[in-house]
A and B are shown apart, each in its own frame.
Chain A
Amino acid sequence: GNSVTQMEGPVTLSEEAFLTINCTYTATGYPSLFWYVQYPGEGLQLLLKATKADDKGSNKGFEATYRKETTSFHLEKGSVQVSDSAVYFCALSDLYNQGGKLIFGQGTELSVKP
């Protein structure tokens, strides 16, 4: 079945450091890929998405490129801030094979220190 695997956390970085959170997926169809962010005590917020191969999603300095050849959707940011501290979830939606439900990775906790 479809699945998402993320790099394990927690990830601890200093402010202004470069961030990469790896995400790989397994899917039988042509999934859309998402990154959601969850701040402490809050719900899930959509960070960015990509709906087809080679698409790049970007938002708030974060970006991720849908790589079909490596089945990956790694999240990157050039310079993280303390306010980026949160849990990041990679997710897929296999629209034609499994409806619209989201399948999430296990989440990666990011902690950014001043």
Chain B
Amino acid sequence: AAGVIQSPRHLIKEKRETATLKCYPIPRHDTVYWYQQGPGQDPQFLISFYEKMQSDKGSIPDRFSAQQFSDYHSELNMSSLELGDSALYFCASSLGGPGEGETQYFGPGTRLLVL
């Protein structure tokens, strides 16, 4: 079965640079969630989209922005990168809007290292 695809899998950037992370949800899934997992930490919710509209926002810095496109893939744009942004970024997808009770399926993550 098709899973959630994230690209790139690994990314190395310098401080103050920008990065774009991409997420391709499971086919037919219309809801995307982004999470950030720091080293040895639990995943923290960043932002979610349903039917191309932002549905919820968590602890996402103002330097980050995200959107969901017409084909339901999503991109997380990160600017003015800081050392503390180094983390594993997960995308998860589900069918039906937030609150519909559908299980979230996670991608393999993008490991971002900021030097």
| A and B: bona fide binding partners | yes
Chain A residues near B (Cβ < 8 Å): 32, 34, 36, 42-46, 49, 51, 89, 93, 95-96, 98-107
A43-B106, A44-B106 known; A100 and B100 CB under 8 Å?
yes
Q: Flag whether B42 is at the interface (Cβ < 8 A).
A: yes
Q: Flag whether B86 is at the interface (Cβ < 8 A).
A: no
Q: Flag whether B27 is at the interface (Cβ < 8 A).
A: no
A42-B108, A43-B90, A43-B108 known; A103 and B103 CB under 8 Å?
no
Residues facing A in B61-98 (CB within 8 A) are 90, 92, 94, 97-98
Least Cβ–Cβ distance between A4 and chain B, in angstroms: 8
Least Cβ–Cβ distance between B34 and chain A, in angstroms: 10
A43-B109, A45-B106 known; A107 and B42 CB under 8 Å?
yes
Contact assessment for A100 and B48 in the assembled complex, using a CB-CB cutoff below 8 Å: yes
Number of B interface residues in the complex (CB < 8 A): 28
Q: Given the complex, which residues of B lie within 8 Å of A106, measured CB to CB?
A: 41-42
A43-B106, A45-B106, A51-B101 known; A102 and B90 CB under 8 Å?
no
Contact assessment for A96 and B104 in the assembled complex, using a CB-CB cutoff below 8 Å: no
Contact assessment for A100 and B43 in the assembled complex, using a CB-CB cutoff below 8 Å: no
Contact assessment for B98 and A101 in the assembled complex, using a CB-CB cutoff below 8 Å: yes
Contact assessment for B90 and A89 in the assembled complex, using a CB-CB cutoff below 8 Å: no
B29-44: contact bitstring with A at CB < 8 Å (1 yes, 0 no)? 0010101000001111
Q: Given the complex, which residues of A lie within 8 Å of B31, measured CB to CB?
A: 100
Compute how far the CA of A32 lies from the CA of B100 in the bound complex, rounded to whole angstroms.
11
Residues facing A in B20-61 (CB within 8 A) are 31, 33, 35, 41-45, 48, 55-56, 58
Contact assessment for A49 and B107 in the assembled complex, using a CB-CB cutoff below 8 Å: no
Compute how far the CA of A98 lies from the CA of B106 in the bound complex, rounded to whole angstroms.
19
Least Cβ–Cβ distance between A66 and chain B, in angstroms: 14
Compute how far the CA of A104 lies from the CA of B108 in the bound complex, rounded to whole angstroms.
17
Q: Given the complex, which residues of B lie within 8 Å of A36, measured CB to CB?
A: 106
Contact assessment for B42 and A105 in the assembled complex, using a CB-CB cutoff below 8 Å: yes
Q: Given the complex, which residues of A lie within 8 Å of B99, measured CB to CB?
A: 95-96, 99-100
Contact assessment for A101 and B56 in the assembled complex, using a CB-CB cutoff below 8 Å: yes
Q: Given the complex, which residues of B lie within 8 Å of A96, measured CB to CB?
A: 99
